[in-house]
Amino acid sequence: MKKSLPKKELKYAKKAKMKKKSSATDTFAGSGTIYWIAGIILLAFFCFIPALTNNLVNWDDYNYIRDNPYVQNLSPGAIASIFNVNTFIMGNYHPLTILSYAFEYKIAGANPFLYHFDNILIHLFNIFLVSLLAWLLTKKKYAVIIITALFAVHPMRVESVVWAAERKDVLYTFFYLLALLSYIYYVTVSKNRTRSYILAFVFFLFSILSKGQAVVLPLTFLLIDYWYDKKIEIKMLLNKIPFFVLSLIFGGIAIHAQSSSLTEERLISHSFVERIIYAAYNLSAYLYKLVYPYDLACYYGYPMRSAMTPVYLGAALAIVILVLLFVFYRKNKVVVFGTLFFLFTIFIVIQLMPIGNAIIADRYTYIPYFGLFFIIGILLDTLVSQKPKLRTVVTGILFVQIGIFGFSSFLQAGTWKNNITLWNRVISNNPKEPVAYNNIAIDYMDTKNYDKAKASLFLAIKNSETYPEVYRSYHNLGKAFSETGKPETGLLYYDTSIMIANTYLDAYFGRGLTYTDMGKYDKAIADFSFIINHLNPNDVQSYYSRAVAYNKKGLPDSALTDYSRAVQIQPDYAKAYTNRGNIFFNQGKFQDAIFNYNEAVRYDSTSGINFMNRSFAYFRNGDYQPALNDALRAQGMKVNVPEQYITDLNKALGK
C-alpha cells in the first residue's frame, strides 16, 4: 500500500509542482509569444513589400551598387580591396556591407529586386532578434509584443529597410543585436560564458565592419550590467577593454573616412555652438517623429538662417525634457535604461560631427528607437497589469495604432519607387530644397531630358543658402551644357564648381572630357593628371580618359601606358583592352592586338565590335578561319560586316 505524504510535505509538493508547471511558460516559446512574433514578422513583410518593385535611386544606390567597381568582381584580390582600410565608399568604411552587394551583384547584376528583398529579409530577422532581446530583458509577454511590433512597422523604419544603399543599417543591426544577446548570456548564464564572450566580440566586429555607428556597442553593454544589477567590479570593467579598443580603432578609421568626403567643409559651414544646438534639436525632432512619424522624406536639409526659430525651440525642449527625466525619473530603472540606450546609440549621429548634409535622417533611429519602444512597452504592460479592466481598451488602441503605422510604412515605401517619386516627396515637404532639385536634375540627365535638368539645377543654385555642396549643381550644369553642344558654356560651369571646391574630382573629370571633345588635348591631359597626381592615384576612369586624349594627340605610347595602368587597377576593364588592342593593331603588332581583343571579349562578350576587331586582327595575321568565325559572330550581333570581307575570307580559305 502506497504511503501518503504528511500534510505539510504535501503542501510543499503541490507548490513545487505548480512552480514546475508555471516554468514551462517562462520561456520565449512556452509563453506563446513566438506566435505573436510570427504574425508581426508577416505583417512587416507586407508593409515593406512595395520595395520589391522599386528601382535603384540616385541617392547613393548608383555609387554603392550600379557604378561601384568594388562590387562587380568577386575575385580574391577584389575582396582584399574591399577590406583594405583605405577603401572608402561615399566616405564610409563598411567592407562587410560592400561584400554583401558583391555577392548579390554576382547573382543579379544591377537588378534592384534582390537588393531590396535581402534588405527586407534582414529586417525580418532583426524583428525576431529584437523580440528575443526584449524577452530576455523583461520576461513580459505583453511588453515584448508591443516593443517588437513598434520596431517592426514604425514608419521611421522605412528608410533603413527599403533603401538599397542603406543595407549597412539593417546589417550592422543584425550583428549588433546578436552581440547584445551574446553578452546577456555571458552575464546571466553560468555555462559556456567564455563562448558567449567570444561570440559577443565576433558579432561586434562584424557589426562594426557593416557600419561605423556600431562603435557605441560597449556603452550598451554597460546598460546591460545596470539592468541586471551587476556590481561595478574590476573584472566587469576589464572584460570590456577589448571592445572599447576596437571602438577606438574603427572610430579613427571612420573619422578618416569621413574626412575623405568633405566633412571638413561641413565643419566650417557650422560652428561648434551651432552644432550643439543642432544636436539638441535632433533629440527633440526624433522624439516628435516617434509619436508623429508622418510627412517623412529621404532628406531634411538644414534650415536657412532666417528660419532657425523651430531649431532653437526644439533644442530648448530637448534640454527641458532631459532635465525633467533626470529630476523625476533618475531612479526609475526602466526609464533610465531606455533613455540611455536611446542616447548612447544616437549621439554619434546627431550632427556634433557633421555626417552628410541633412540635419536629421530617419535611418539614424533604426537601433536607438529600441530604447524608447522599450519604455513604452513596459509602461503599457505595467498599466494593464495594475488595471486589468483597461487591457481591452489599451489593446484595441494599440491594434489601431500599429495598423496606422503599418499602412503609413506601406505608403512611404512606395515613395522610393524611383528618383522622381523620391525627390518630389522631399520637395512637397520643402519646396526650396536644393538637394532635391539637384538629384531630380541628375535623373533628367540620365534620360537625356536636358532642358528639365537645367531648370532644376538653376533652382538648386537659386536656393543654395543651405547647400554647401552647390558645386555639384554647377558641375551638373557643366555636363548638361557640354552634352547639348554648348561646351564653352559647360566649361564656365565646370570652372565655377572647381572654384567653389578645388578638390572636387568630378568637376575636373567632366572638364577634361569636354576639353577632349573640343580637341584641347593638353588641357584635358592636365585635368586628368591633376586627378591622378593630387586627388586619387587609382582613379581608373582618369587613366582611361587621359589615354584617349594622349592617343588623339598622337602619343600612342603614353596612351598604352595609361591603358595598361587602367587594366592593372581594374582587370575586367574591357574598353581599355579594346583601345589598347586598337593601338597595337595600328602599329602592325597583330599578336599583341589579338591578345587584347581576347581580353576584351573575355570581359564583354556582348559587344559585337570586340569580335569584329579581333576578326580584322586575325585576318591581318593570316589566321583566316578564326577571322571568319569572329566576323560571322559579329554579324549575328547586328554589326554591319561588309559582305566583300566575308567573301575575301572564304576565298582565302579556298571555299
Helix axes 141-153, 391-414, angle to 10 degrees: 20
| pLDDT greater at residue 88 or residue 213 | 213
For residue 24, name the pLDDT band (cuts at 50, 70, 90).
very low
For residue 10, name the pLDDT band (cuts at 50, 70, 90).
very low
Q: Stretch 35-60: mean pLDDT, rounded?
A: 95
Is pLDDT of 28 > 50? yes
Is pLDDT of 17 > 70? no
pLDDT, position 23: 41
Is pLDDT of 1 > 70? no
| pLDDT greater at residue 561 or residue 349 | 561
Q: Stretch 337-342: mean pLDDT, rounded?
A: 96
**CA-based max dimension of the chain:** 114
Instruction: From residue 42, give the alpha-carbon distance in Å to each of 36, 77, 412, 484.
Output: 10, 40, 18, 50
Q: Stretch 65-78: mean pLDDT, rounded?
A: 85
Can you give the pTM of this predicted structure?
Answer: 0.85
Query: Hey, which residues does 92 pair with through a beta bridge?
Result: 89
Instruction: Point out the least confidently predicted range of 15-24, 387-396, 510-519, 551-560.
Output: 15-24
Give the closest residue to 113 by CA, choosing from 158, 41, 49, 159: 49
Is pLDDT of 141 > 70? yes
pLDDT, position 358: 85
Three-state DSSP string of 487-507: HHHHHHHHHHHHHHCCCCHHH
N-to-C CA span, the chain:
110
SS3 category, 360: strand
Chain centroid to CA 642 = 49
pLDDT in tens, 402-420: 999 999 999 999 999 999 9
Tell the residue number behind the cell numbers 587613366, with chain if given.
543
- Classify residue 270 by its DSSP letter: S
Query: Hey, which residues does 358 pair with through a beta bridge?
Result: 301
pLDDT in tens, 119-131: 999 999 999 999 9
For residue 19, name the pLDDT band (cuts at 50, 70, 90).
very low
Give 219's contacts (C-beta < 8 A, 6+ positions apart). Answer: 344, 345
Q: Stretch 508-530: mean pLDDT, rounded?
A: 97
- Mean model confidence pLDDT for the chain: 90
Q: Which of 26-40, 57-71, 447-461 has the highest mean pLDDT?
A: 447-461
pLDDT in tens, 578-617: 999 999 999 999 999 999 999 999 989 889 999 999 999 9
| pLDDT greater at residue 190 or residue 536 | 536
Whether 205 and 243 have beta carbons less than 8 Å apart is answered as: no
Radius of gyration of the chain (CA): 30
Handedness of CA 72, 75, 79, 80 (dihedral sign): negative
Helix axes 643-652, 624-636, angle to 10 degrees: 150
Give the closest residue to 438 by CA, choosing from 422, 414, 454: 454
pLDDT, position 11: 47
SS3 category, 301: strand
pLDDT, position 351: 79
Beta strand ranges found along 345-403 (DSSP E): 358-360
Q: Which of 80-84, 149-153, 502-506 has the highest mean pLDDT?
A: 149-153
For residue 29, name the pLDDT band (cuts at 50, 70, 90).
low
pLDDT in tens, 209-256: 999 899 999 999 999 999 998 877 787 788 899 999 999 998 888 877
pLDDT in tens, 367-377: 999 999 999 99
Cell of 13: 509538493
pLDDT in tens, 176-207: 999 999 999 999 987 888 999 999 999 999 99
Tell the residue number behind the cell numbers 555652438, with chain if given.
273
Q: Please state which CATH number belongs to domain 421-652.
A: 1.25.40.10
Q: Stretch 263-271: mean pLDDT, rounded?
A: 57
Is pLDDT of 263 > 60? no
Q: Stretch 532-538: mean pLDDT, rounded?
A: 92
pLDDT, position 15: 46
Whether 144 and 38 have beta carbons less than 8 Å apart is answered as: no
pLDDT, position 401: 96
Cell of 472: 555639384
Chain region(s) in the chain for CATH 1.25.40.10? 421-652
